[in-house]
Amino acid sequence: MSSRRERDTLGEIEVPAAALWGAQTQRAIENYPISGYRAFPAFIRAFVRIKRAAALANGEAGRLDERRKDAILAACDEVLAGKHMDQFVVDVFHSGAGVSFHMNVNEVLANRANQLLGGGLGTYEHVNPNDHVNMAQSTNDTTPTAMRLALLELTKTLCVELDTLADAIAEKASRYADTVKPGRTHLQDAVPITFGQEFSGWAERIRGAAARLRAARAELCDLGIGGTAAGTGLNADPQFRERVCVYLAEWYGEPIKPAKNLFSAMQSMAPFVRIASGMRTAAIEVSSICNDIRLLVSGQVIGNDTAVAYGAQPASSS
């Protein structure tokens, strides 16, 4: 495979000749052969949308000229249309804040923007990954922002699927509203219940799971973008974060806004713990309902009342 020679602050390195990534990505390929897993497409799209919004905001601030801005926007649009997805090659398991993946995004967009302006790969003669694609940004504000955006996208679909599941179960509940059977507690016969009642409980549990997820999603809408490296916003135009959030809010269709405190947005992983908890709770509900279904369909003839346990204590219901 032919290669080209690129240079970064650590020195020279060989990069595959046709690659849209550059020196820093190449170092990460060599430093992190860990899992073989690559970034989820939703995370790639999130990062690229941040870059697109940043280019627009920097253009409006008069810091990025039209020619470079348009080239970056065009490169972003190609990725958002599904092109160059094989160029995001950094292993999911890499250093702390995600610098390498972030630079992978900056390098791919810079190289593609260069090509669109007639430049060669790895030359960065027109568009530079750090100076232009990454203008007014840092890994420390973009990565937590991209994580929020990716999860907003993925959990939106999840919430819709949960709603649809709840509707499907509710339909069964009304169909069997008056079909009575013995209830069960501790897997033993109990007072009567209708299938409709049992199913309505399942439907409500799924709706509850979706509601908890939606509450957790709301917190993901507060973005730390514009805080740059330390949360102070050094090197970003004062209006940068507001402008970026306006674009992202429009593209994601979510009430996205700048976080009240940029330091907190950068420091804390609590919003991700909360959404993870929401997903785990939903998974537990789904799993529990599946186990109920497993019992209902168990058989066909064996399995019931085949052993006798000695009475240790009576039940409480009278």
Partner 1 sequence: MMPGINFANCFSATILTNAVRVLREKTIAGLEVDEDRARELMDASPSLAVTALSPHIGYAKAAALVKQALAERRPLFDVAKDAKIMPEKDLRRVLDPLPMTKGGVQD
Residue ranges binding partner 1 (CB under 8 A): 37, 40, 42-43, 92-98, 101, 143-144, 147, 150-151, 154-155, 157-158, 161-162, 164-165, 168-169, 172, 176, 178-183, 189-195, 197, 269, 272, 275-276, 279-280, 282-283, 286, 290, 293, 317-318
Please say if 316 is a catalytic residue: yes
The answer to whether 1 and 18 are in contact (CB under 8 A) is: no
* Both tokens assigned to 89: 């090659």
The nearer residue to partner 1, 94 or 243, going by C-beta atoms, is 94
Minimum distance, C-beta of residue 138 to partner 1, in the bound complex (Å): 13
The nearer residue to partner 1, 44 or 75, going by C-beta atoms, is 44
Of 2, 287, 316, 317, which residue is the catalytic one? 316
The nearer residue to partner 1, 148 or 241, going by C-beta atoms, is 148
Please say if 298 is a catalytic residue: no
How many other C-beta atoms lie within 10 A of the C-beta of residue 2? 7
DSSP label at 20?
Answer: S
Helices (H) and strands (E) in the chain, counts: 9, 6
The answer to whether 20 and 104 are in contact (CB under 8 A) is: no
Helix (H) or strand (E) run with residue 142 in it: helix 139-175
Buried b (16+ CB within 10 A) or exposed e, 244-257: bbbbbbeebebebe
Of 186, 287, 317, 318, which residue is the catalytic one? 186
Distance CA 203, CA 211 (A): 12
Minimum distance, C-beta of residue 169 to partner 1, in the bound complex (Å): 6
Alpha-carbon distances, residue 79 vs 59, 86, 88, 208, 244 (angstroms): 20, 10, 10, 36, 19
The nearer residue to partner 1, 176 or 252, going by C-beta atoms, is 176
Minimum distance, C-beta of residue 291 to partner 1, in the bound complex (Å): 12
The nearer residue to partner 1, 195 or 251, going by C-beta atoms, is 195
Minimum distance, C-beta of residue 42 to partner 1, in the bound complex (Å): 6
Minimum distance, C-beta of residue 315 to partner 1, in the bound complex (Å): 10
The catalytic site residues sit at: 186, 316
